Structure 1
Amino acid sequence: MSRTLVEKIWDAHVVKREESFPDILYIDTHLIHEVTSPQAFDGLRKRGIPVFRPKQTVATADHNVPTLNQHLPIKEELSRYQVDMLTKNCAEFGIELYGLGHPYQGIVHVIGPELGITLPGKTMVCGDSHTSTHGAFGAIAFGIGTSQVEQVFATQCLLQQKPKTMKIEVNGTLGKGVGAKDIILYIIAQISAAGGTGYFIEYAGTAIQALSMEARMTICNMSIEMGARGGLIAPDQTTFDYIKGREFAPKGAEWDKELAYWKTLYSDADAQFDKVLSFKAEDISPMITYGTNPGMGMGITEHIPAIKSQPESEQFSYQKALEYMGFEDDKEILGRPVDYVFIGSCTNSRIEDLREIASFVKGKQKASDVEVWIVPGSKQVEKQAIQEGLDKIFEAAGFQLREPGCSACLGMNEDKIPAGKYCVSTSNRNFEGRQGPNARTMLVSPLTAAAAAVTGKISDIRELL
């Protein structure tokens, strides 16, 4: 019987299946951080039970950590409390913690792949919606709530309804200045922020296959922004080459055994998906969002869609979003001045992102009235950037290279965008107040962010390359 990749991995992890009930799904790897784990640990404590398989849980501190002076005590009281609680809980329950000061500390969805913890064919969960990032390796990876975090702690299993499957193909060759972030923002703009609801998405096609692993992670990361349960890409030689030799990746005979299994992880040629969508890479231009959800995106040279062009039931909320952003419909966004540029988050904070930006800004200066933050996704990314001299390029350009963390992706730490200010951001969400109360966020690719940093306004990167 022909099956999709999602079905193959899912079925291999079902512990028990009964009609009219959710599947009991075994979880290979559980990633945790300081925000969604405290209540789950408390639940275990109240019931007097241990973490069932602590060796399959990996913890790091990322959401609440400062990105300057990490050697000093955390200033914000709530942030300090949450990070301290994670340290205490991990020690009590025997879980490996990559906390502040550890060479492996970083954003949970950056450290999993770079350490070789994320592997094809695995089921992976985390109390964080962007867990879909790990699907780039051909894994079933999805975010869970705090009560489910406790479920995995206690049983290493979850009750889950098997999702519907969708295939999104992108074929062709990307144009100059267009990258993975533009691909995913384009797809979301085409199908809306709810277009993937109920589905697990497999990305395929020649344009996807041509991407590096770090670019594939960017694609899968934002699957959740179209309402999908998760997204994944079938593993191939690019995947295997990336994994080999990493800290916790299989070695020796174990590598050979795992590799043989990984090579079976693809959708059968005649597998049936519940939905199939196709896009042409040539149709995609550098993208930017103009509203308050990631589906409100457009090519950077386009005009903001007219309010009257929206379904009548959505016109009020559409107008409200434009008012929040201080934009008018049917107007260009190109040339608009910006106040902040944030390059980071689990979407775009890997070494390739930093190299791409450094290559563009070398010998250039940031605009005088723009503040630029570059926040690496992990200590390892930070170390690599310094070894390659990227920090010197950023410093010469007036960009600030900070320390690892989620930073200004979300207003949960010290890195907040002031009210009313415009931030061009490589992160994944542009909701009202996401980067700070009344902050205005425009989502873009790293190259488009770098262009805004240098020019001080929304610019078409294609004119600057």
Structure 2
Amino acid sequence: MNKPTTLFDKIWDAHVVKRAEGYPDALFIDRHFIHEVTSPQAFDGLRKRGIGVFNTSHTTATADHNVPTKDQHLPIREALSRHQVETLRKNCAEFGIDLYDLGHPFQGIVHIIGPELGITQPGMTIVCGDSHTSTHGAFGNIAFGIGTSEVEQVLATQCILQYKPKRMRINVNGQLGKGVTAKDIILYIISQISASGATGYFVEYAGGTIRSLSMEARMTICNMSIEMGARGGLIAPDETTFEYIRGRRFAPQGEAFDKAVQFWRTLKTDEGAEFDRELHYNAEEIGPMITYGTNPGMGITVNSHVPNLNEIPERELASYTKSLAYMGLEPGTAVKGKPVDYVFIGSCTNARMEDLRLVADFVKGKKKAAGVEVWVIPGSKQVEQQAKQEGLDKIFEEAGFELREPGCSACLGMNEDKVPAGKYCVSTSNRNFEGRQGPGARTFLASPLTAAVAAITGKVEDVREYV
């Protein structure tokens, strides 16, 4: 009788091309996503070695990180952005790689276009030169971010050398409360185990609460696995997964789809399989979350207080006080009621149709608070077009929100969309590091619903008092 096996082990072991004691595994990669920021040096490496891309059909390119979100039909004004996008165009043309460039109907944030196009499928191994590649794990696959030298490795061989991570399972069960979303679930988990609590692990999310989530919500959960130090996160596929994939452009069609589903149904952890670590959480204990510091683990329920100094381990006091000084907050005080200057709704964490619908439903018929600038950045051209078809652009416009074009935007302070120094931003993105949204910018991470409330009230509030 075979030993019970985890989903992670099943997928990993099925993709090992070569294994030797004391060395990393040579892992075959089913899908490689690239963008304009982490790929140029990799292509230069191929040129210097006089080799091509091993299998161009397994690589998909798009422009997303350092692109403008206004006037994308015009030449890019910012010099570095223009250079990076032009370089991506040249590299993809030279090496024969499909590129979803600015203006292409499939262009968008790399971790959003993969799922919506049906490229992302259960049982795959997926990599990209971006840490939030873990997003794709929501479909029951092994997806993780890689460095530029590894991008070159995959382009050259369609394989990557990797040591196998340990396995963790995080179970969430119970009924979510009013106004609590997937973003709150993952911020809560990270607040419980810290920004380094899953270092060295690949996480499987399980339990009734996770099963009840839509695919877009599951993507939000897996997206932020990296923010607790994990190598990646995944959720076993089920009927929700199959129905999401059905009929998408690059998904199997007809009989091929039915056959694929037969295989996908086998992708689950066997009963009795062992994990190196297992955690359990009760959904009823999770409230709307907000971060107060400079890493995603510094989070609290929105009506709680910033921890007092005596609640912080002595070894963390120096970094804790530095973080609060940067954020302009005091120990023991409330974040609720704090005035905000910017609201950013976007990023690979929360820029899908469900996120935009959630925000639009709340703000319909309302006006943003005076003095608050609100940016809504769709995750892809398909999301942008769908939002317009559903009339969400009109709702945002009437509320005083600015709906822009797809890109990573204010998530990472790399392109033109930056939050000014000293200003507070409620952001639906994934990181609140110092300067992440611009030099000196102060970021509160939150769900799209909490962000919408902040946009209308002009301050951090508890969504449960408004929905």
TM-score bucket of the superposed structures, by smaller chain: over 0.9
Report what 1:354 is aligned to: 356
1:396 aligns with 2:413: no
1:228 aligned residue (227, 230, 233): 230
Runs (4 or more) in structure 1 with deviation over 4 Å come to none
> Are the counterparts in 2 of residues 308 and 315 from structure 1 also a CA contact under 8 Å?
no
For 2:92, the equivalent position in structure 1 comes to 90
Aligned to 1:259: 261
- Identical aligned pairs, as a percentage? 73
Which of 201, 204, 208 matches 1:202?
A: 204
Q: Which residue in the other structure is 1:413 paired with?
A: 415
Deviations 1:152-198 (A, max 9, x none): 00000011111100000000000000000000000000000000000
Once the two structures are TM-superposed, the CA of residue 247 in structure 1 deviates from its matched residue by 0.3
Partner of 2:79: 77
Does the CA-based 8 Å contact 1:289-1:442 persist in structure 2?
Answer: yes
Q: For residues 232-276 of structure 1, what are the alpha-carbon distances to aligned partners after superposition, in whole Å with 9 as ceiling and x for unaligned?
A: 000000000000000000012221221111000000011000000
Aligned CA-pair RMSD:
0.5
Deviation of 1:339 after TM superposition, in Å, equals: 0.1
1:211 matches 2:197: no
Q: 1:4 aligns with which of 6, 13, 22?
A: 6
TM-score (norm 2): 0.99
Show the counterpart of 2:33: 31
Contact 1:55–1:95 under 8 Å retained in 2: yes
Superposed, 1:326-345 pairs within 5 Å as 326-345=328-347
Aligned to 2:427: 425
Q: Partner letter of residue 365 of structure 1? A: K
For 1:196 and 1:426, locate their aligned partners in 2 and report how far apart those are by CA, in whole Å: 22
- Contact (CA 8 Å) 1:119, 1:139: kept in 2 or not? yes
Tell me the residue number matched to 1:244.
246
Write the deviation string for residues 35-72 of structure 1: whole angstroms up to 9, x where unpaired: 00000000000000000001100000000110011111
Structure 2 residue runs of 5 or longer lacking an equivalent are none
Distance 1:143 1:110 in 2: 15
Q: Distance in 2 between matches of 1:418 and 1:20?
A: 49
Task: State the partner residue of 1:459.
Answer: 461
Number of aligned residue pairs? 465
Q: 1:367 deviation in Å?
A: 0.2
| Structure 1 residue aligned with 2:62 | 60
Q: 1:13 aligns with which of 12, 15, 18?
A: 15
Q: Shift in Å at residue 368 of structure 1?
A: 1.0
Alpha-carbon shift at residue 28 of structure 1 (Å)? 0.2
Specify the alignment match of 1:143 in structure 2.
145
Which secondary structure state, in structure 2, belongs to the residue aligned with residue 427 of structure 1? coil
What are the superposed Cα offsets for residues 331-390 of structure 1, whole Å, 9 maximum, x if unpaired? 011101000000000000000000011111111110011000000000000000000000
- Partner Cα separation in structure 1 for residue 428 and residue 88 of structure 2: 28
1:425-448 C-alpha deviation (Å, 9 max, x unpaired) = 000000000000000000000000
- Distance in structure 2 (CA, Å) of the matches to 1:398 and 1:462: 23
Partner of 2:125: 123
- Aligned to 1:293, the other structure's residue is in SS state coil
The letter of the residue matching 1:250 is P
TM-superposed deviation, 1:85: 0.2
